Amino acid sequence: MNKSHLRGAIFAAALSIAIYFAILCAVRADAGQSGKASDAPAGNAENGKRLFTKDGCYECHGREGQGSNMAGPRIAPDPIPFDSLVRYVRKPAGEMPPYTVMVVSDQELADIYSFLQSRPHIPTAKASPLLK
Total count of domains within the chain:
1
Per-residue pLDDT, 14: 44
| Sign, CA torsion 37/118/120/75 | negative
Is 0.75 surpassed by the pTM of this model?
no
**Residue 9 maps to a domain:** yes
**Residue 130 maps to a domain:** no
**Residue 51 maps to a domain:** yes
Give the range of the structural domain holding residue 38, as residue numbers without chain letter: 3-123
**Residue 131 maps to a domain:** no
Cα 5 to Cα 17: distance, rounded to the nearest angstrom = 18
Per-residue pLDDT, 1: 61
**Residue 81 maps to a domain:** yes
Cα 42 to Cα 7: distance, rounded to the nearest angstrom = 47
For 104, the 3-state DSSP assignment is: coil
**Residue 112 maps to a domain:** yes
Q: What is the block-wise mean pLDDT of the chain (132 residues), using blocks of 10 residues?
A: 61 46 49 52 96 96 92 93 96 93 97 97 80 70
Q: What is the CATH number of the domain that holds 73?
A: 1.10.760.10
**Residue 18 maps to a domain:** yes
